[in-house]
Structure 1
C-alpha cells in the first residue's frame, strides 16, 4: 500500500482485529501495530526461530493451520 510517499506492508488478523504495518525509512524499519495480538512481535519471534534453526529452505519446513492455531515444523 502506498502511504505518505513510501510503500507500507500490512498484516491483518481479521478475527481478532489486530494489525501491523511496516515500512523502511532511512535504512531502518518503522512498525506500528494495534489490537489484542501483537502481530509484528509474533512475526519477529518466528523469524528468530527460523534463524536459530539455521535458516532452512522452504522445502525443509511445513506450516500447519487449523482452527486451533498455527504451527511451524522444521
Structure 2
C-alpha cells in the first residue's frame, strides 16, 4: 500500500512508523495536490513536516479510496517487511 525509504537502522524505521501511525488516522492530515502532469496525489503531514508523499493516482476517486484505506489500516499492528 505504501513504500518508504530505507532506514539506517531498525530504531529509525520504528520511529518513522510511530510517527506515521500517530497521524495516519486523521483525514485532515492528508493534503491533496495535483501534479504538474494533472494527476492527483497526497501528502501526509505532521504539522508542517511532510511524513510521506503518495504515488500519483488516475483519479480523485482513486486517491480518496487510497486515503480511506490508509486511515483504516494504518493503526493496525500488522506491518509487513518486504526487502527489495
TM-score (norm 2): 0.28
Greater per-residue strand proportion: 1
Greater per-residue helix proportion: 2
1 or 2 for the larger relative contact order (CA 8 Å, sep ≥6)?
Answer: 2
TM-score (norm 1): 0.31
